[in-house]
Amino acid sequence: MSSAQNNYFIPEPSKWPIIAMLSILLLLLGSALSFNDVSVGNYMIVFGFALLAYMFHGWFSEVIGESLSGKYGEQEDNSFRQGMFWFIASEFFFFLCFFGSLYYLREIAVGWLSGEGYLAATQEFLYPAFEGAAAAWPTAGPELVGGAFESMGPTGVPLINTALLLTSGVTLTIAHHALKKENNSGLVLWMWATIALGLTFVGFQAYEYIHAYGELNLTLGTGVYGSTFYILTGFHGFHVVMGSIMLIVIALRSAKRHFTPKHHFAFEAVAWYWHFVDVVWLGLFIFVYWL
Amino acid sequence: MSTTTMNATHSHDDHGPLKGWRRWLYSTNHKDIGTMYLIFALIMLFLGGASAMAIRAELMYPGLQLLDPDLYNNIVTNHALVMIFGAVMPAAAGLANWMIPLMIGAPDMALPRMNNLSFWILPAAALMLILSFVVPFFPGGGSQINTGWTLYPPLSLKVGMSMDFLIFTIHLLGVSSVLASINIIVTIFNMRAPGMTVWKMPMFVWAWLVTAFLLILIVPVLAGGVTMLLFDRHFGTSFFDAAGGGDPVLFQHLFWFFGHPEVYVLLLPSIGVLSQVIPAFSRKPLFGWNSMIGAMIFLASLGMVVWAHHQYTIGMSSAAVNYFMIGTILISIPVGLMKFNFIATMWRGSMTFETPMLFAISIVIMFVFGGLTGVMLAIVPADMQYHDSMFVVAHFHYVLLPGAVMALFAGVLYWLPKWTGNMYNEKLGKWFFWTSLIGFNGTFFVQHFLGLAGMPRRIVDYSIQFAEFNFISSISAFVYGLSHLIFLYLVITTIKGIGTTKAKPRSWEGAQGLEWEVESPAPFHTWEKAPKIDKEGHYVK
């Protein structure tokens, strides 16, 4: 326990949480309306995004200001670290939901529905047509929802992407070492290298989606294979984009010399997040592309 | 921000409450945020209670009287969601916000702005939830939600746009819960006063620590599950559609992977409250302190791996069914341990029977009823008969009302003097206790018989032979519902100080813990100077 207990920084009342709430509400309410073809929803989404951007800019500016004016000591830093750690833990379980679903659909549901082993009656009563090609992964079900398709293999783009993300983890660590040695130009350089690798990954991922839609007829609507493929890679890709934006912010802040060897929570938080995104990709590469 | 006016020796930027509405909207104070949580929960309790009254009014006589079947189903869905996510969880979070910093000697929660955000997301979620209820009554609003709170596909894929409002409600509630849980964990790990080791923390703090871990692990899974539901509804995916190779049962697994531990999320804060209340009014320390922590951790861990006992009838393999049955029956071990500890705490204590203690004692007894019917339901061949009957309704109301709601009332009454500076009127408290006790048991005890006799749940009408018990149940339900008006009156008079006495700092003779070392009502800022704590964990003046 720190002896600075009674000096713990309690921020002044702040308008940002309520703006954050309003922006999220606008986004979700707008989406619910928009998905049901109520056109006012589209405007709400646009306005919600604008408000969200304003909120992030304002809230983070305030926090960065507090950090630079030295209001955060060891104990505050510790709160942020632990908070980030548990946030990433919750993200982990979010992805676990989709990985678990993939496992269940692929290893359990398809077998049961196609009457594997002693479950012949299950197939007969529930879905007699669930057999043949429908029963073997990759599947789009007995009705071949979305039409004939080819599945995505691990070689080529996914392999390159694995190399890109793993390398970006290394360059980020080099940047961290540069930060600890107060080598600011090295820090900035390696940050931008990391960002370049991340954005290249996003580019390749976009290329892969275009290829899948155009040539493999593998779409979001391609039965359960397409569904699991796109929800897993899609949410991961979204996290890479978020991570890249966070890295860009950190790179710009590095250039402004916001970080010291002892005091750089924001850098570490983003680095943890990036490594987490890396690990999720390894899971994707093994379970979605490879096996 | 007044970054330039910072005082060198004192880095508190925040000195007193703002005036007017800004105080509440912009708050970074754990007490104000806790108060808002509690008031929100009370409003939601009355909303959920109103829907319960509507359900019982309809079921008072066989046949259709008040509600058409669609509206009935909509109300049943809404009742569950409002009560679980709107009333019980925010009330427990309100207690956590108010009491954890006071109990561990912290000046506030670790992340005060995020704390405000996790509260203010709730009214947004409530708005979305209410919209999901009322949208079908507008032109082009689609059909009403008729799935129950479990939102099982394929039915939930067929519902109109209300379901999208509900899905986003769940996303909002999930964000709120995860942020609040992160805050609570960080506060407990990082904000304890020197000397307040984890092994000296009050049991309420321990209970919330375990709860917060559970929430972080399970809520994202529900968020993922309803996201897939959203994709199936609007973007042509086939997660829950067997024609495309998916499986509707997958949603049930995802839902109950969240839904079963959620039961312990509702229960554990209440176990924490009882662990404060029972020792205080027995004037003895809590019996089996270590075993209590062990039981809570055991309960939470086991609770995460027994979810499919809600789905015995889906046609799982018998190996899976046996595993889930044995795991579920094992749950009675930690729960039994907790009950044993509570009873042993009372054993030879010099007990007094103020309202919180009356609630605590009745909870220990009634929760055993709910636990026993839980063991009955855990047994697969028996459950095949009870499944989706009123017996299940009786079971989970016997678990959740004593185990969560009544314990929260006990907690509110126990800490109300600390919050308001006034002792509530004990006579009103006793009236509230007895009317709610009689009303509750009258409502739900007879539902065991209805279920065993074969009355299905979630159905607007029933066969004529169930009429008497349903009539008893409905009349009792009205008594139970009205008893909460006594509670409302009690709270308002206590806040206003009408017919009450001033509370001492240590409002109850036997109450232990740091929260009783500060004035009543607790000042806006407490423990700005960390309290001194001796080796035994006691406060040193």
> What pLDDT digit, counting tens, does each position of B460-498 carry?
999 999 999 999 999 999 999 999 999 999 999 999 999
Q: Which residues contact B516 (CB under 8 A, 6 or more apart)?
A: B418, B505, B506, B507, B508
Residue A41 reports pLDDT greater than 80: yes
Per-residue pLDDT tens for B244-287?
A: 999 999 999 999 999 999 999 999 999 999 999 999 999 999 99
Q: What are the chain A neighbours of B233 within 8 Å (beta carbons)?
A: 35
Hey, is the C-beta of A61 within 8 angstroms of any chain B C-beta? no
Summarize the confidence of residues B221-248 as an average pLDDT: 95
Distance from CA of B290 to the nearest CA of A (A): 23
Sequence-ordered list of residues with C-beta below 8 angstroms from that of B170, at least 6 positions apart, any chain: B222, B223, B226
Determine whether the interchain pair B22/A13 forms a contact, defined as Cβ–Cβ distance below 8 Å: yes
CA angle A110, A115, A118 (to 5 degrees): 125
Element (H, E) at A215: none
A31 touches chain B (CB under 8 A): yes
Among residues B214, B201, B289, B314, which one has the least CA distance to residue B257?
A: B214
Start-to-end C-alpha separation, chain B: 36
The C-alpha of A159 sits at a distance from chain B's nearest C-alpha, in angstroms, of 26
Residue A67 located in a structural domain: no
In angstroms, the CA B168 to CA B152 distance is: 16
Contact between B239 and A101 using a beta-carbon 8 Å cutoff: yes
Across the interface, of A11, A28, A126, the residue whose CB is closest to B168 is A28
Q: What is the span of the domain harbouring residue A32?
A: 8-61
Chain A CB contacts of B175 under 8 Å are 24
Are A51 and A132 found together in one domain?
no
Q: Which is nearest to A224 in space by CA: B246, B493, B447? A: B246
| A198 and A127, same domain (yes or no) | yes
pLDDT digits (tens, 9 = 90+) for A222-239: 999 999 999 999 999 999
Closest CA to B206 of B129, B284, B121, B103: B103
Q: What is the CATH number of the domain that holds A256?
A: 1.20.120.80
B385 pLDDT more than 70: yes
Give the one of B190, B230, B238 whose C-beta lies nearest to A145's C-beta: B238
Say yes or no: A258 and A187 in one domain: yes
Q: Which of B3, B28, B113, B216 to mutate to test the interface with A (most CBs of A within 10 A)?
A: B113
- Shared domain for A190 and A246, answered yes or no, is yes
| Total domain count, chain B | 1
Q: A44 and A114: one domain?
A: no
Q: Are residues A92 and A55 in the same domain?
A: no
CB burial class (10 A; 0-12, 13-18, 19+) of residue A132? Answer: exposed
Q: Report residue B357 as tokens.
A: 């203690």
Residue range of the domain that includes B486:
350-502
Residue B494: inside a domain, yes or no?
yes
Please determine, for residue B13, whether its predicted confidence score (pLDDT) is greater than 70. Answer: no
Residues of B in contact with A230 (CB under 8 A): 237
Interface of A with B in 226-265 (CB under 8 A): 226-228, 230-231
Q: Are A253 and A118 found together in one domain?
A: yes
Is the pLDDT at A104 greater than 80? The verdict is yes
Q: Considering the domain boundaries, does residue A22 fall inside one?
A: yes
How many structural domains does chain A have? Answer: 2
List residues bridging with B533 in a β-sheet: B539
C-beta atoms of A224 and B11 within 8 A: no
Q: Are A165 and A281 in contact (CB under 8 A)?
A: yes
Query: Would you state the torsion angle of the CA atoms of residues B204, B206, B209, B215, taken in this order, to the nearest 10 degrees?
Result: -70
Q: Which of B111, B190, B209 to mutate to test the interface with A (most CBs of A within 10 A)?
A: B190
Same domain, A99 and A49: no
In terms of phi and psi (left: phi > 0; alpha: psi -120 to 50; beta: otherwise), the region of B166 is alpha
User: Between the CA atoms of B454, B456, B462 and B467, what dihedral angle is there, to the nearest 10 degrees?
Assistant: 50
* Res. A3: pLDDT tops 60: no
Q: CB distance B250–A101 less than 8 Å?
A: yes
- Whether A230 is in a domain gets the answer yes
- The C-alpha angle B252, B255, B257, rounded to 5 degrees, equals 105
Residues A30 and A107 occupy one common structural domain: no
Given an 8 Å threshold on Cβ–Cβ distance, is B225 in contact with A90?
A: no
Q: Is the dihedral of CA B436, B440, B443, B445 positive or negative?
A: negative
Which has the minimum average pLDDT: A16-20, B94-98, B244-248, B389-393?
Answer: B244-248
Say if A39 is an interface residue toward chain B (CB within 8 Å).
Answer: no
B18 inside 8 A of chain A by CB = yes
Tell me: do A25 and A156 sit in the same domain. Answer: no
- CB contact (8 A) between residue B3 and residue A127: no
* pTM as predicted: 0.94
N- to C-terminal Cα separation, chain A = 48
User: Looking at residue A224, what is its pLDDT?
Assistant: 94
Q: Is residue A71 in a domain?
A: no
Instruction: Search chain B and give the residue with CA nearest A122.
Output: B315
Q: Provide φ and ψ at B390, rounded to 5°.
A: -65, -20
Quick check: is B272 in a domain?
no
CB contact under 8 A, A71 and B11: yes
Is B332 part of any domain? no
> A126 in a domain, yes or no?
yes
Does residue B387 lie within any of the structural domains?
A: yes
Q: What are phi and psi of B389, to 5 degrees?
A: -105, 175
In sequence order, the β-bridge partners of residue B423 are B501
Split at pLDDT 50, 70, 90, the class of B27 is: very high
Residue B110 lies in a domain: no
Query: Is B160 within a domain?
Result: no
Query: B98: which residues sit within 8 A by CB, 6+ positions away?
Result: B30, B31, B34, B35, B38, B415, B419
Kindly list the residues from chain B whose CB atom is less than 8 angstroms away from the CB atom of residue A224. 237-239, 244-246
Cα B433 to its chain centre, rounded Å, is 19
CB B473 within 8 A of CB B446: yes
Residue A118 lies in a domain: yes
A51–B contact, CB cutoff 8 A: no
Torsion of CA B276, B282, B288, B290, to 10 degrees: 30
Instruction: Report yes or no on A177 lying in a domain.
Output: yes
To 10 degrees, what angle do helices B248-282 and A74-103 make?
140
Residues A105 and A232 in one domain: yes
Whether residue B4 is predicted with pLDDT greater than 50 in this model: the reply is no
Within a domain: residue A256? yes
Please check whether residue B411 lies inside any domain of the structure. yes
**A86–B contact, CB cutoff 8 A:** yes
